[in-house]
Structure 1
Amino acid sequence: MKKVNTLILFFGLAAFCHAQEIIEIPYEKPTDIVWEGEEKDYYSKIWDTEIVSNVSIPRMEVFRADPAIANGTSVIIAPGGGLYAHSIKKEGTDVAKWLNDNGITAFVLKYRLVPTKGDAVKEITEAGANNPAEIGVKVKPILPLAISDGLSAISYVRSHAEDFGVDSNKIGFMGFSAGGAVTMGVSYNYTPQNKPNFLVPVYPWTTVIPIQKAPEDAPPMLVICATDDPLGLAVGSTALYSSWQKDGKVVGLHMYAKGGHGFGMKPQGLPSDNWIARFYEWSIAEGITVPQTE
């Protein structure tokens, strides 16, 4: 019986250690947008990945780095999905776990999305094929909310940095596709309290938000994309890079010949599979993080 109780205690502690740590971040509720029903979490056969849709309350899932290797750097991750959904695994939790393995604490941000009742991925796919203008109409009022969620997430992490065991001056923001548009919005609208210390837009949706002049105190930025992106985002990615570079800001660009769109952490047997390692190397070179020691 003692052995059984020990096993129960062991598995109970294991379950506790792996329990999700979810934080609702401060936000202002809009008066002109209504979400019906609950948030949905399901596997999309169309996108061949796990997604989350109909998000009305912004939250973060916390992935703490092991204290034995934690280096104080943190990254807020904004998954993509056209502002209709979050590609929550390959552009969210899988990214966070890789960062954790390298001593970086991560926060997967569920920013607010277009209200949808059924299959959000099916809805945006059909709209893209039959009425692309409809996507723009639905996304327009949501993008400012998503950007405000990104800024709120940075403020929250900074004000609770000690609790999370992170450096308040090493908080980055990394976004994929639509999350990349959120990253751009964050880069143009921050205040001293919610300014990111570095930015990583990954195949950012540059057609939904205008590329602007880099801020005077612009944080370092690394842009990642593929030339063969079927949404044509390579052009916008290079323009975003140039907007930082021409004003003498710290910026890098990894443009892969092949990779397509939405590759995230999904292996394709291409050099783009290693984009996150290139980010890590860049972060070390810029003094954003420090390498692990044996």
Structure 2
Amino acid sequence: MKKLIVLTYLLVSLPMMSQKIIDLPFEENPKVVWSTTENEYYSDIWQTQVVTNVSAPRLEVYEAEKPNGTSVIIAPGGGLYGLSINSEGRDVAKWLNKKGITAFLLKYRLVPTGVDGVQDITDDGKTNPARVGERVAPVLPLSIADGLAAITYVRKNAKDMQLDPTKIGFMGFSAGGAVAMGVTFTYSEANRPDFIVPVYPWMTVVGDYTVPQDAPPMLVICATDDPLGLAKPSADLYSAWLSNGKNVGLHMYSKGGHGFGMKKQNLPSDDWIQRFYEWALVEGLTVPITP
């Protein structure tokens, strides 16, 4: 039995062992301390693979076989208590690779939790919803700093990876969308994303914002029936870009719920990533790969 367990672990870990990992520089906040090590596991609550207790940011690099110069940094969601690492991360990266787009999966810093961070946010949400905000507040700035560090790394090393330093996008889901928008509202010239794709972004945690004068092109994706009430803030985000004369698109699906990512629900929202690709082509942010 022990040999079987070891073999199973190796088979599950093999794809990750071949993945290039980049450690990102970061500054610590002495008020945020992790006592539990980073953990990846299948969550029965969320019915998906998750990562919790990220205390040091890094990138998983997914290189396209035929890179076309475009790259996208992907920030999965999970309420800042976890990362939905497959449906909103690795599966997205692999899809982009097929289109010639190099992907960087960002493991940004998360709320320190027990071994099962998904159980923690579930319990906090049921018994003391205000506590979720209290635990997230000191961590979100760290997560945003990790997003900025990711852009800095990709731009600095773009030419060595056959990438265009002017075609670096940032795509974030839910809490990862909050990270994407936090990056958008705080970037400098060196770490400005060239385009952004907030997917059902958690805008209430971002707070009030001002559209940057040189705001990057943006495509917002969400579903009207999002049970967390993210449709209106997503529409407001679109309207803010529109009213300021910025390049923006919106796909608001009537149904899709929250956290659909790369899951298949037999709904039009299943094809959101194809709509992103079409938008990127039209805007000149990527090009078709040659046969």
Counterpart position of 1:162: 159
Match for residue 36 of structure 2? 37
User: How many residues align structurally?
Assistant: 278
Provide the rounded CA distance (Å) in 2 between the counterparts of 1:285 and 1:127: 43
TM-score by length of 1: 0.92
Which ranges of structure 2 fall in alignment gaps of 5 or more residues?
Answer: 1-13
Partner of 1:47: 46
Q: Secondary structure at the match of 1:278?
A: helix
Which residue of the other structure, out of 73, 93, 97, is the alignment partner of 1:76? 73
Note the C-alpha offset of 1:126. 1.3
Match of 2:268 among 250, 265, 271: 271
Corresponding residue for residue 258 of structure 1? 255
Flag the structure with larger Rg: 1
Q: How many Å apart are 1:211 and its aligned residue?
A: 4.4
Equivalent residue number for residue 229 of structure 1 = 226
Distance 1:80 1:19 in 2: 24
Alpha-carbon spacing, 1:211–1:234, altered in 2? closer, same or farther (3 Å): farther
Partner of 2:60: 61
In the alignment, the residues of structure 2 paired with residue 52 and residue 98 of structure 1 have an alpha-carbon distance, to the nearest angstrom, of 20
2:218–2:249 contact (8 Å) kept in structure 1:
yes
- Distance in 2, matches of 1:245 and 1:170, equals 22
RMSD of Structure 2 on Structure 1 (CA): 1.3
1:18 Cα deviation from its structure 2 partner: 7.4
**1:23 and 2:22 matched:** yes
TM-score computed with the length of structure 2 as normaliser? 0.93
Equivalents in 1 of 2:160, 2:57: separation in Å?
20
Q: 1:40 to 1:101 in 2, by over 3 A?
A: same
Q: Spell out, residue by residue over 1:20-40, the C-alpha distance to the aligned partner (whole angstroms, 9 max, x if none).
A: 100001111111111113100
- Structure 1 residues 53 and 16 mapped into 2: Cα distance closer, same or farther (>3 Å)? closer
Residue ranges of structure 1 left out of the alignment (5+ in a row): 1-14
Residue 196 of structure 2 corresponds to 199
Secondary structure, in 3 states, of the residue corresponding to 2:241?
A: helix
Give the deviation of 1:16 after TM superposition: 9.6
Q: Report the residue type matching 1:44 in the other structure.
A: S
Q: Which amino acid aligns with 1:101?
A: K
Aligned residue type for 1:191: S
Does structure 1 residue 113 correspond to structure 2 residue 94?
no
Distance (whole Å) between structure 2 residues aligned to residue 253 and residue 91 of structure 1: 19
Q: Identity over the aligned pairs, expressed in percent? A: 63
Distance 1:135 1:234 in 2: 20
Measured in 2, the distance between the counterparts of 1:124 and 1:35 equals 16
Distance 2:88 2:16 in 1: 23
Task: Report the counterpart of residue 103 of structure 1 in structure 2.
Answer: 100
Give the deviation of 1:190 after TM superposition.
0.3
1:211/1:239 contact within 8 Å kept? no
